[in-house]
């Protein structure tokens, strides 16, 4: 027997777009009628209403969508028909329908932007964008551009979508707001991997609504290319209206005695180790493992939320511990005493007790968290989870060969080599033994007693799922043996579409023919392992 199929099949991306619809504006002719007319012998014209259209309006109301009729005509039969259908919002004899729609949106409590405008040519589009680029600060909110949309539904359908966005809508980005200020100095910072990053110390200036006093200069090549020097008047902007950056110098204002800035040859730390630029890389690095700047950043990373999540151990506390020479690496955290912590300026008994409690609590963190916290180059959370599930303990991971490591799902040769090299280094071996002595669990692999019905299945979650945070939804998938990658591919089993989903993921899933399920079917997927 032939399976029953719905009479109407709408593209999933269209249904997703319709999720947020709250009001439907409708005309009468050709909408509530089928376009047919009756003529009486007396010459009267009678319109023919279609009962299916009436049923559709009732379904709209049932779905929580308010129907609003705006028509250029008015007649007693029309009013009777709308009353019979329970239509509460209608405006008659109105040819200019956009202002009428605006009025209804306000009446219904829906937000509208009074600055939008309907235009009829590209020159009008440009004029509108130019106006608001010049007057963006006149608004009560920050903007970085305007969105231009085609208002013909038929033409929208014709243009369609790309894999990432609709062809009928374009975001016009304003040029970043630029300001001039004085470059007081160029300094460098050292990260946990030894990467040395130059940054500009600026005379504070307001750019795009906030005060900017520092800006990144990325690397030595960028400094040389821009030829910015201490004492220069420089142009500053925010890349993407977010990240402060120095565009370049105002050469006509450069001091006569100005000299090019030279990248330091040695690390600014007390060790003063030689800085090295590895061939083929743009980054300059401090390769001295005992560099205190690297040490501090490694400890900060170890204690961060993505690592061991040690409550109370922020940057200031790490710097204070370092200055007092109470820690030399992350392993020393687990031998700290209350007496030592009370040496920190501003620390009382309560602060010390709370920090020791946070450190003690971190001892039982799952193995993937510990692996991530160690800061091994290229090793992230996903690969750490795979390693933990496969080997079961840090000791077994340390004993594994590169070949054994590289065969693990999500690891590969580069990560495997990095892991093996890290555990071979004497300072790192010493850290591991300090962690062991401090009581950190090396084999805390959280195993789930839930049915492993999602093994081998990659499930992408987009949008918010009722009853789950994003992390909880992904954890629920992993607890059942599945994977939860951040992007859709041909290997994706299905996509769980919640509220406010990512358009690119939905579109990609549609193009690849990947099944999509609504959020309310997520629990069934978890329970049964199938859609």
Task: Quote the tokens at residue 240.
Answer: 């993407």
Between β-strands 458-462 and 492-497, what pairing exists: parallel, antiparallel or unpaired?
Answer: parallel
Task: Quote the tokens at residue 463.
Answer: 């949008």
Run of H or E including 215? strand 210-216
Paired with 170 in beta bridges are 148
With beta carbons less than 8 A apart as the criterion, state whether 27 and 35 touch. no
Instruction: Catalogue all structural domains in the chain, each as residue range(s) with its CATH number.
Output: 12-107 (3.40.50.1000), 122-173 (3.30.1490.70), 180-288 (2.40.50.140), 292-362 (1.10.150.20), 367-437 (1.10.150.20), 458-528 (3.40.50.10190)
Cα 181 to Cα 175, 251, 255, distances in angstroms: 19, 13, 14
| CA neighbor of 215 nearest in space, from 225, 203, 224 | 203
Per-residue pLDDT at 129:
93
With beta carbons less than 8 A apart as the criterion, state whether 228 and 186 touch. yes
Query: Token match 């990659």: residue?
Result: 458
φ and ψ at residue 62, rounded to 5 degrees: -65, -30
φ and ψ at residue 393, rounded to 5 degrees: -160, 155
Residues recorded for the chain: 531
Between β-strands 66-70 and 89-91, what pairing exists: parallel, antiparallel or unpaired?
Answer: parallel
Per-residue pLDDT at 7:
61
Whole-number Å distance between alpha carbons of 356 and 344: 13
Cα 31 to Cα 51, 53, 68, 71, 244, distances in angstroms: 11, 7, 12, 11, 53
Task: Quote the tokens at residue 230.
Answer: 């201490």
Whole-number Å distance between alpha carbons of 446 and 338: 31
Whole-number Å distance between alpha carbons of 212 and 232: 16
Q: What is the Cα Rg of the chain in Å?
A: 32
Task: Quote the tokens at residue 332.
Answer: 């020393």
- No. of helices (H) and no. of strands (E), the chain: 20, 17
| CA neighbor of 258 nearest in space, from 234, 287, 289, 284 | 234
Q: How many other CB atoms are found less than 10 A from the CB of residue 307?
A: 22
Q: How many other CB atoms are found less than 10 A from the CB of residue 438?
A: 18
**Ramachandran bin of 146, using left for φ above 0, alpha for ψ from -120 to 50, beta for the remaining angles:** beta
For helices 412-424 and 426-437, angle between their N-to-C axes, nearest 10 degrees: 80
Regarding pTM above 0.75, the answer is no
Burial call 78-95: b when 16+ CB within 10 Å, e when fewer: beebbeebebeebbeebe
Per-residue pLDDT at 311:
92
If DSSP codes are grouped into helix, strand and coil, which group holds residue 97?
Answer: helix
Whole-number Å distance between alpha carbons of 92 and 96: 11
| CA neighbor of 205 nearest in space, from 185, 182, 174 | 182
Per-residue pLDDT at 4:
66
For helices 292-303 and 315-323, angle between their N-to-C axes, nearest 10 degrees: 140
Whole-number Å distance between alpha carbons of 147 and 166: 12
Per-residue pLDDT at 42:
75
Whole-number Å distance between alpha carbons of 343 and 351: 12
CA dihedral sign of residues 283, 284, 290, 291: negative
**Ramachandran bin of 481, using left for φ above 0, alpha for ψ from -120 to 50, beta for the remaining angles:** left
Per-residue pLDDT at 131:
94
Per-residue pLDDT at 3:
64
Paired with 516 in beta bridges are 495
Local confidence pLDDT in tens for the 531 residues of the chain: 566 666 666 776 677 777 778 899 998 887 788 777 777 777 777 777 888 888 888 888 888 889 999 998 888 888 988 888 888 899 998 888 888 888 888 888 888 888 888 899 999 999 999 999 889 888 888 888 899 999 887 888 888 877 567 888 888 988 888 899 999 999 999 999 899 999 999 999 988 778 999 998 988 888 999 999 999 999 999 876 678 999 999 999 999 999 999 999 999 988 888 899 877 777 889 988 789 999 999 999 999 988 999 999 999 999 999 999 999 999 999 999 999 999 999 999 999 999 999 999 999 999 999 999 999 989 988 889 889 989 999 999 999 999 999 998 888 899 999 999 999 999 999 999 999 999 999 998 877 778 888 988 999 998 888 888 888 898 899 888 888 888 888 889 999 988 878 777 888 888 888 988 888 889 999 999 988
Residues in contact with 483: Cβ distance below 8 Å, sequence separation at least 6, in sequence order: 457, 458, 459, 477
Per-residue pLDDT at 154:
84
Task: Quote the tokens at residue 153.
Answer: 């539904």
Whole-number Å distance between alpha carbons of 283 and 295: 19
Per-residue pLDDT at 385:
86
């Amino acid at each position: 027997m032939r399976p029953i199929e719905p009479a109407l099949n709408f593209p999933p991306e269209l249904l997703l777009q319709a999720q947020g619809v709250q009001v439907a504006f409708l005309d009468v002719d050709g909408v509530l009628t089928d376009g047919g007319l009756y003529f009486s012998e007396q010459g009267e014209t009678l319109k023919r209403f279609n009962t299916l259209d009436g049923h559709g309006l009732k379904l709209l109301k049932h779905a929580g969508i308010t129907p609003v009729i705006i028509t250029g005509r008015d007649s007693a039969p029309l009013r009777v028909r709308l009353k019979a259908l329970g239509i509460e919002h209608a405006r008659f004899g109105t040819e200019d329908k956009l202002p009428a729609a605006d009025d209804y949106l306000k009446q219904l409590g829906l937000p509208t932007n009074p600055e939008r405008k309907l235009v009829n040519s590209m020159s009008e589009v440009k004029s509108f964008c130019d106006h608001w680029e010049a007057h963006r600060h006149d608004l009560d909110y920050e903007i970085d551009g305007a969105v231009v949309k085609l208002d013909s539904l038929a033409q929208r359908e014709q243009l369609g979508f790309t894999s990432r966005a609709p062809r009928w809508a374009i975001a016009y980005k304003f040029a970043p707001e630029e300001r001039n200020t004085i470059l007081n100095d160029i300094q460098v910072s050292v990260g946990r991997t030894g990467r040395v990053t130059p940054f500009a110390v600026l005379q504070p200036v307001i750019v795009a609504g906030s005060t900017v006093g520092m800006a990144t200069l990325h690397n030595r090549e960028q400094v040389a290319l821009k030829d910015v020097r201490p004492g220069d008047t420089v142009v500053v902007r925010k890349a993407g209206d977010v990240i402060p950056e120095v565009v370049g110098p105002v050469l006509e204002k450069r001091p006569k005695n100005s000299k090019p800035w030279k990248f330091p040859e040695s690390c600014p730390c007390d060790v003063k180790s030689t800085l090295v630029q590895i061939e083929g890389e743009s980054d300059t690095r401090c390769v001295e493992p005992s560099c205190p700047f690297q040490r501090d950043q490694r400890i900060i990373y170890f204690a961060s939320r993505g690592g061991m999540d040690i409550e109370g151990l922020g940057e200031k506390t790490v710097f204070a511990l370092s200055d007092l020479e109470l820690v030399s690496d992350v392993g020393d955290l687990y031998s700290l005493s209350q007496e030592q912590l009370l040496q920190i300026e501003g620390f009382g008994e309560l602060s010390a007790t709370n920090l020791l409690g946070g450190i003690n609590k971190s001892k039982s963190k799952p193995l993937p968290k510990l692996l991530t916290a160690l800061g091994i180059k290229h090793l992230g959370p996903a690969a750490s989870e795979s390693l933990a599930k496969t080997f079961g303990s840090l000791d077994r991971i340390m004993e594994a060969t590169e070949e054994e490591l590289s065969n693990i799902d999500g690891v590969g040769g580069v990560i495997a080599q990095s892991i093996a090299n890290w555990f071979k280094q004497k300072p790192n071996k010493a850290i591991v033994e300090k962690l062991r002595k401090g009581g950190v669990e090396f084999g805390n692999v959280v195993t789930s007693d839930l049915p492993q019905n999602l093994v081998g299945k990659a499930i992408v979650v987009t949008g918010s799922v009722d009853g789950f945070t994003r992390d909880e939804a992904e954890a629920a998938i992993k607890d059942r043996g599945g994977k939860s990658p951040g992007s859709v591919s041909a290997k994706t089993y299905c996509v769980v579409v919640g509220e406010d989903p990512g358009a690119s993921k939905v579109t990609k899933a549609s193009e690849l023919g990947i099944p999509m399920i609504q959020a309310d079917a997520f629990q069934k997927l978890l329970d049964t392992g199938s859609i």
